[in-house]
Amino acid sequence: MMSHNPAPLSAKRGRPMSFDREEALEQAMGVFWRKGYIGTSMNDLTAAMGIASPSLYAAFGSKEKLYHEALNHYVSLHQEAVARIMEMPTARESVEGLLRNAVSAFSRTSFPSGCMLEQTAGEAGDLSPEIDVSLSNLRAANDANFLSRLRKGIEDGDVAACTDASAVAAFYATVRKGLSLSARGGTGTDELNTVVTSAMKAWPKLIAS
């Protein structure tokens, strides 16, 4: 006599795996952040997210679409803090605040070190045009924070009107990129903050009339 195969087993066959989408996205972000887009395999993603490939494709569509969502999730982690810093009373406070916040974010032990957006800068030639444009726009937005705050400082009067806002913004944006690279190389929080302190000592000369 043939053994009876219970119906529930066949009913389960092909059923999508249930998972916490937000948690899975955070895990994917961490993998992309550590390994870059090119260096991340689908096996890396499914292992970190705790889901099978069919569930990943069903939920996110493709590796590229998942990466875009991971980028947006990364940006969302910092939006509130950056918005608060941009509202500080003076341009100097905001510029220093952006750099100190970067140190904190780049050194957080709960995430990979450095900036996820800057981490993939070296992959530019190997990325799809869509990803390359997205990353370029997000990096440009980070740089633009310095320029927009300096221009507001000129309007408010706490930055000299003759200041070359573009040059000063480029200087501090470059410092921020250096903080990311140093953090990724293992530089500690105290040393990174010392770099910020040194950079801010240049402020009076940079905005002098």
Write the pLDDT tens digit of every residue in 134-146.
888 999 999 999 9
The answer to whether residue 14 sits within a structural domain is no
The answer to whether residue 13 sits within a structural domain is no
Specify whether the CB–CB gap between 126 and 173 falls below 8 A. no
CATH number at residue 29: 1.10.357.10
Tell me the C-alpha to C-alpha distance, in Å, between residue 28 and each of 66, 113, 128: 8, 15, 19
| DSSP 3-state of 188 | coil
Confidence class for position 189, pLDDT limits 50, 70, 90? very high
Contacts 24+ apart (CB under 8 A), 106-110: 106/179, 106/180, 106/183, 106/184, 106/192, 107/183, 107/188, 107/189, 107/192
Q: What is the dihedral of CA 138, 139, 145, 147, to 10 degrees?
A: -130
The answer to whether residue 5 sits within a structural domain is no
The answer to whether residue 6 sits within a structural domain is no
Contacts of 108 (CB under 8 A, 6+ apart): none
The answer to whether residue 2 sits within a structural domain is no
The answer to whether residue 202 sits within a structural domain is yes
Residue 97, domain extent: 19-206
The answer to whether residue 29 sits within a structural domain is yes
The model's pTM is 0.84
Which segment of 51-65, 116-130, 164-178 scores lowest on mean pLDDT? 116-130
The answer to whether residue 161 sits within a structural domain is yes
- The stretch 120-139 carries a mean pLDDT of 81
Which residue's structure tokens are 């961490």? 30
For the chain, how many structural domains are there in total? 1
